[in-house]
Amino acid sequence: MPDHLVFSYGTLQLPQVQRARFGRELPGAPDALPGFRLDTLRITDPAVIADPGSSEHPVAVHTGDDADEIPGRVLTLTDAELRAADDYEVEDYRRVEMVLRSGAKAWVYVEGSTAA
């Protein structure tokens, strides 16, 4: 089963979210997402609020300006874990493949209306 790289800038980095969603803490490395800035999204799904303990979640918004970037971590997920991450991210997010500051390609959950 191949591994998937997922760039996390928010709650998927939290150990308690990883343990609840994937049953383990995920390996990862620091990186950054150029051309995006952070905004805040209010989550209403109680199951998604429960693990991090907050209804306010960050969301990556495309700016197209390479001077903008979001720091975070590249996580390594299995097929099943990627499906679990998709289930965790509410419909206000969409998963797209992006090139990170390091040059690595990774899946990133961005604002649902973002045209990246």
Would you list the domain boundaries of the chain?
A: 4-111
Residue 47 belongs to what H/E stretch? Answer: helix 46-50
What pLDDT shows up at residue 2?
A: 64
What pLDDT shows up at residue 114?
A: 45
What pLDDT shows up at residue 113?
A: 59
For residue 48, the Cα-to-chain-centroid distance in whole angstroms is: 13
What pLDDT shows up at residue 40?
A: 86
Under CATH, what is the fold of the domain 4-111? Hypothetical upf0131 protein ytfp (3.10.490)
* Type of residue found at 81: E
Q: What is the mean pLDDT of each run of 10 residues along the chain (116 residues)?
A: 87 92 94 95 73 77 94 96 90 92 96 62
